[in-house]
Amino acid sequence: MQGFVTNTPDIDAEILRVLLSVEQTELVKPELAKPYRVLVSRADLQQRITPLSRYCRVGVQAWSVRKDGTANLGDAFDLCAAAGAALESAPSNSQIILSAEIQSGPSRVADEVTRIEYQYMTVLLEVAT
């Protein structure tokens, strides 16, 4: 780390920066033409750990959909695992993400509306605030 963060960082922007090294990443799942691959990220700031840092729970959805509209769960699993690895290695080159630990997943989930399955994981970050 090169120094202290002196203004409130944009946590979503930093997570997107990290995950874009893996695949197209969005904050809300877009309507995409099939076939497609996409990561969807959600960041929820949690309680303070120190006066300069707090927890941030990140949810990552990994979608891999074939041309016929069915899920490619093996590819989605690999995509989700790559996203987790990218977040775990982020502290080595980020002034905002101080530590990262996978809490759960990848887990198989079905979208309630489309019934298309995807993989989901949660990662606990410590972030500078």
Q: What is the pLDDT of residues 12-46, one digit of tens each?
A: 999 999 999 999 999 999 999 999 999 999 999 99
- Say which CATH topology domain 11-128 has: Alpha-Beta Plaits (3.30.70)
CA distance 75 to 119: 9
For 34, other C-beta atoms within 10 Å of its C-beta total 11
Q: What is the 3-state secondary structure (H, E, C) of 7-32?
A: CCCCHHHHHHHHHCCCCCEECCCCCC
- Total-model pTM: 0.89
Running DSSP on this structure, what letter comes out for residue 71?
A: B
Mean pLDDT across the stretch 84-105?
A: 96
Confidence at residue 82, expressed as pLDDT on a 0 to 100 scale: 98
CA distance 40 to 59: 8
Q: What is the pLDDT of residues 50-82, one digit of tens each?
A: 999 999 999 999 999 999 999 999 999 999 999
Domain ranges in the chain are 11-128
